[in-house]
Structure 1
Amino acid sequence: MSFADNLKQLPSVAHLSALQLIDPQGQILATIENKPGQAGSLAVYAALAAKHGSINAAAAQEGLDIYAEHTADARVFPGKHPNIDRLIQVIESGTSLSVTLLAQ
């Protein structure tokens, strides 16, 4: 399925304003906001965190599958899709990111 089709299968994030990704040292690594251009990634990361409890290697691999055709593009053009690049980095480094959900 395409990324657009996969997004339709994910829970709504209408109740969220953003989420924060926290590295193992407790630092905020990134904030993904509920706004155009980021809402899809917010839905992906929120669903992964709900299912896996964090963004670990298993969650990251599932996320790459959800991003579908964008994952291939991210591998060819590093930096073009930072939220996908982050999932690849989680897998390659073996680290895990905590997630803090921020309500509207």
Structure 2
Amino acid sequence: MMGGLVLLLLGIAFATVGVTGYVIFGPLTCRHLQDRGQAGLMAGSSLSPTGLLWILRGGYGQLGDAGLRALALPARIMLILTLAGVFLLVLRWLLVQA
């Protein structure tokens, strides 16, 4: 019982922090690329599947742009936190169903 509550609280916390942070750093990363004429790397949006995957797998590291890295690394961390939160919530739901 207590473990389920911990999973629920951590899942909500991770997802909330991750989404909030990504809403800040994701568009800033996209804008940085647009300013440098490389918007195609994220398919024009920080919420596009291409953009999400590009940030998640660390595609920004290959460009050698320190300013881009300063924006994209926090976006990547926030995206990972979001996914971890969703995973914990799904895990809790599965445990409750069992």
TM-score by length of 2: 0.31
Which structure ranks higher in relative contact order (CA pairs < 8 Å, sequence separation ≥ 6)? 2
> Which one has a bigger Cα radius of gyration?
2
TM-score by length of 1: 0.30
Q: More helix by proportion, 1 or 2? A: 2
